[in-house]
Structure 1
Amino acid sequence: MGSTQVNLRNEAKRALELMDLTSLNAHDTNESIIAMLDEIDAKVGLPAAICVYPQFVALCKAQLAERGFNSIKIATVTNFPSGKEPLEVVLEQTRQAITDGADEIDLVMPYNQVIMGDPDTPWQYVRSSKDACGEKVQLKVIIESGVLSEPEMIAQASDIAILAGADFIKTSTGKVPVNATLSAAEIMLSRIKANNKPVGFKAAGGVKTVAETLPYLDAAERILGQSFIDAEHFRFGASSLLADIKAILVKES
Structure 2
Amino acid sequence: MHAMSDDAEQLALRALEMLELLALNHDDSEERIINLCKRALTPVGAVAAVCVAPRFVCLARTALDRLRARQVRVVAQVNFPWANDSVDMVVRETRAALVSGADEIDVVYPFRTLLAGNAPLVTELLAACKAECGSRASFTVTLEAGELRDPQLIRSACRDAIAAGADFLKSCTDRLVAPVSPQIVRIMLESIAETGGLVGCKIVGGVRTLNDARPLMSLASSRFSSAWCSPQRVRIGGSVLLDDLLVSLGVLEAGRY
Q: Same fold (TM over 0.5)?
A: yes
Distance change >3 Å, CA 29–CA 3, structure 1 → 2: closer
Instruction: Select between 231-240 and 2-11 the one with higher mean Cα deviation.
Output: 2-11
Q: Is the 8 A contact 2:142 2:173 kept in 1?
A: yes
Where does residue 77 of structure 1 map in the other structure? 77
Q: What is the deviation of 1:80? A: 0.7
Please show how residues 203-214 of structure 1 align to structure 2 within 5 Å.
Answer: 203-214=203-214
Q: Which runs of 5+ in 2 are unaligned?
A: none
Distance change >3 Å, CA 155–CA 15, structure 1 → 2: same
SS at match of 2:141: strand
Tell me whether 1:215 sits opposite 2:215 in the alignment. yes
Instruction: Select between 38-47 and 108-117 the one with higher mean Cα deviation.
Output: 38-47
Deviation sequence 1:70-107 (CA, Å, 0-9, x none): 11000011111221151111101101101100001110
Q: What is the deviation of 1:191? A: 0.8
Where does residue 184 of structure 1 map in the other structure? 184
Where does residue 103 of structure 1 map in the other structure? 103
Where does residue 160 of structure 1 map in the other structure? 160
Distance in 1 of aligned mates of 2:57 and 2:252: 34
Q: Is the 8 A contact 1:44 1:250 kept in 2?
A: no
Deviation sequence 1:15-37 (CA, Å, 0-9, x none): 11001111111110001111222
SS at match of 2:136: coil
Where does residue 55 of structure 1 map in the other structure? 55
Distance in 1 of aligned mates of 2:177 and 2:51: 20
Q: Is the 8 A contact 1:145 1:179 kept in 2?
A: no
Matched residues, number: 253
Q: Is the 8 A contact 1:19 1:48 kept in 2?
A: yes
Please show how residues 14-33 of structure 1 align to structure 2 within 5 Å.
Answer: 14-33=14-33
Please show how residues 229-240 of structure 1 align to structure 2 within 5 Å.
Answer: 229-240=229-240
| Percent of residue pairs bearing the same amino acid type | 31
Deviation sequence 1:207-249 (CA, Å, 0-9, x none): 0111111111111112222332001111011110110111112
Deviation sequence 1:8-62 (CA, Å, 0-9, x none): 2111111110011111111100011112223234422100001111111111111
Distance in 2 of aligned mates of 1:131 and 1:59: 25
SS at match of 2:249: helix
Where does residue 119 of structure 2 map in the other structure? 119
Q: Is the 8 A contact 1:144 1:179 kept in 2?
A: no
Q: Which runs of 5+ in 1 are unaligned?
A: none
Distance change >3 Å, CA 195–CA 90, structure 1 → 2: same
Distance in 2 of aligned mates of 1:148 and 1:195: 22
Instruction: Select between 194-203 and 55-64 the one with higher mean Cα deviation.
Output: 194-203
Q: What is the deviation of 1:178? A: 3.0
Q: Is the 8 A contact 1:9 1:252 kept in 2?
A: no
Distance change >3 Å, CA 117–CA 196, structure 1 → 2: farther
Distance in 1 of aligned mates of 2:216 and 2:76: 23
Q: What is the deviation of 1:197? A: 5.8
The letter of the residue matching 2:171 is T
Please show how residues 165-176 of structure 1 align to structure 2 within 5 Å.
Answer: 165-176=165-176
Q: What is the deviation of 1:252? A: 9.2
Distance change >3 Å, CA 74–CA 252, structure 1 → 2: closer
Q: Is the 8 A contact 1:21 1:238 kept in 2?
A: yes
Q: What is the deviation of 1:119? A: 1.9
Distance change >3 Å, CA 173–CA 251, structure 1 → 2: closer
Instruction: Select between 195-204 and 63-72 the one with higher mean Cα deviation.
Output: 195-204
The letter of the residue matching 2:99 is T
Deviation sequence 1:130-169 (CA, Å, 0-9, x none): 1100113011001110011111111000001001111111
Distance in 2 of aligned mates of 1:32 and 1:3: 33
Distance in 1 of aligned mates of 2:166 and 2:27: 30
Distance change >3 Å, CA 43–CA 224, structure 1 → 2: same
SS at match of 2:236: strand
